Structure 1
């Protein structure tokens, strides 16, 4: 590939014809004019020595020297022209610049070596003959080998520097091109990585919204269900037993305050996530932002989000609060029994929170669909897992549910919670007409 070809391959071809840039065309035309003038001037003594017309010799020099304009397009042809006019002792600029251009291109090294060797041999012969006074070795003062050595040294000194300089410039140009291509590839990879990071951040925000919505459903649905049950009890005993009605009213107030507190917490977290999402989305589209900066920003946002999730998980409910949860259902009139099997120990916050929410949602469903049914809650500590089971008996005949609305997402949310940690979840009716919910969660979530 010639120099102009390399420039065109880099997408910067703006000059005329085969030149990549206008300044390259100006440089080559200038060198061609200089070479043509030199060869034309050297054609005068050549015409005197050979007896050809001076005009013809000068015209030959102009054509030969002007061929240097084609050095980027046909570097081999330019060097061959320089070799051809060497016996006429013309074309110094033509040969020097031609060898440099040839060596700087992607021409195979054997061709460069061959043409450089031809230039050295031609230069040696021409120099040696020019040293012979009268054209005979008998007229040479001193040893003949000295002239041979001097001619060879002169030929090498004139030929090798442009060849070596061209090889260096060509190698440097190829290295720069390779580095530029590698940088462009890295830029594309970073852009793709930034896009994937943005997609992943959007997916993570969606997952967080789903998780928060699930938390709000579990917390609010359970509290409100108990409040409705207690409110019905207050209505039933308000005239018969004012003391019990007052107690149930106090329980309703406590549960309402707890529900409001947890709801405010959930909404605060959701608002923080929304602000992060808006800032992340706007920053990704900021003008002038580099892909590497986008990747770093999304990575930092992901790390901050993970840290916040860990903090939220540490503040969630624990298995040790199951007794209190069951006690609230008992206070609402449910006949519920809690049994614990195995050696009691602690687990990761997300594991304990998930097990707690499964029991909470299952008790909420009993309040909704099987009010008054006897219920049993089992918690089993096993080797590398924890298991919970909530099973209620069939509701008594003629007993109507609490009339609470159901969105149909309770069992789905429980299954999603458990399977996200690599556990198993099973739910369904029992042979006795009741309903059973079972979950097994590994000690170390995936």
Structure 2
């Protein structure tokens, strides 16, 4: 596994800083090179002192100080190269010059400075090599045969180029490779951060999908249970009132309560069956990317909204209104336009809006007259449920003391807006309440 710089900083495993060195082995390497260069320059300084009648101690000291500057090659490569050029006339500092030029080329120093100092080192080395080789040819011509006039300049240039250019070229290569590795490391850190962000977003989307699924299930349970059970409570209250006075009517109300209970149980079984089927699919399915969670949740919601055609539809509104009439509510039902088939989710949403509106009338406006209107238009279907002021003498719902969770209108609005429709609700001037919804059918 690749350990990036960001991971090292986060885990505390970043290398310890030693002055300007990043690692301990870099300290050991530079100190070792400095000692070797100091010893080399001290030996060459001793030889230089003997040739020039200079005090040996001074020559050795000059060599030690000059050679030891190689320790600074990572921090001040320009100074190291300048020291190497400065002591070249004393015929010392070859290791210092070679390592210094390499460090200079591998560093972040501007290339024009590198080229200038390389040229200066070439010239200095060429001059010293030319002078020394000219003297050697003059002192022992027999050792060189019969050299021409080109021999000394050519050999001096060869020595100068051989000492200066290879370390510079190698340093340029190492510097480019180092910058490439740093760029790749930064890119890896960036990708790691981006992957972490994507993982967080995927988890957020998964949590959002789970929340949406829980909300949808709660809404479905509310729609199925609230209306059926509310009617059952209303009929049970009526049954209690007429049980002794009108036994035939009590038997009829009891039968209605049983029918509504069976209908509620049937719808609950269908919903639980969908949930169990979904759990089974998740247990047997192979893992999917987290990016597909939102789409899967949307597909599940669409399926549960009646995509299979088993849910309630607009044709069932007549039966729904009849059940409320049987509970003693005065309901006027009107249909405008030619009926036609709509997408299942549209029909079920329209049905649930009317169902919840009638349930609210049973809960909050006992004895009120209700008008239910359904309008089939070119590109939309509209529904409206409006009730008058509650009848103070109406007993059924009031005596039944139906509880209210306060989420009915919110659920209706969420359903309608999920399909791109418009939902409006509010009190009327006559003291009643109106619920209106328009659903696009494109």
Q: What TM-score do the two structures reach when normalised by structure 1?
A: 0.82
With over 3 angstroms needed to count, the CA separation of the structure-2 counterparts of 1:434 and 1:53, relative to structure 1, is closer
Shift of 1:227: 0.9
Deviation readout 1:312-365 (Å, 9 max, x if unpaired): 222543333323322322333434343333343444444333222110011112
Aligned to 2:111: 109
Aligned to 1:414: 412
Shift of 1:219: 1.9
Aligned to 1:119: 121
Q: Distance in 1 between matches of 2:164 and 2:342?
A: 81
**Structure 1 residue aligned with 2:183, among 139, 160, 178?**
178
Q: Which stretch of the first structure deviates more once superposed, 71-80 or 261-270?
A: 261-270
Q: Distance in 1 between matches of 2:298 and 2:377?
A: 29
Aligned to 2:438: 440
Aligned to 2:297: 305
- SS in structure 1 at match of 2:87: helix
Q: Distance in 2 between matches of 1:379 and 1:309?
A: 25
Contact 2:366/2:397 (8 A) holds in 1: yes
For the pair 1:377 / 2:375, whether they are aligned, the reply is no
Aligned to 2:4: none
Shift of 1:177: 1.4
Shift of 1:161: 1.4
Q: Which stretch of the first structure deviates more once superposed, 299-308 or 115-124?
A: 299-308
Q: Which stretch of the first structure deviates more once superposed, 339-348 or 181-190?
A: 339-348
**Structure 2: gaps (5+ residues):** 1-7, 281-286
Shift of 1:378: 1.8
**Structure 1: gaps (5+ residues):** 1-6, 276-292
Contact 2:379/2:441 (8 A) holds in 1: yes
Q: Distance in 2 between matches of 1:156 and 1:320?
A: 98
With over 3 angstroms needed to count, the CA separation of the structure-2 counterparts of 1:344 and 1:239, relative to structure 1, is same
Shift of 1:241: 5.5
Shift of 1:74: 1.4
- SS in structure 2 at match of 1:310: helix
Q: Distance in 1 between matches of 2:161 and 2:336?
A: 96
Q: Which stretch of the first structure deviates more once superposed, 73-82 or 260-269?
A: 260-269
The alignment of Structure 1 onto Structure 2 pairs a total of residues equal to 419
Q: Distance in 2 between matches of 1:433 and 1:55?
A: 115
**Structure 2 residue aligned with 1:391, among 386, 396, 406?**
386
Shift of 1:173: 1.2
Q: Which stretch of the first structure deviates more once superposed, 299-308 or 252-261?
A: 299-308
Instruction: Please provide the CA RMSD for this pair.
Output: 3.5
Contact 2:367/2:392 (8 A) holds in 1: no
Contact 1:13/1:19 (8 A) holds in 2: no
For the pair 1:190 / 2:195, whether they are aligned, the reply is yes
- SS in structure 2 at match of 1:377: strand
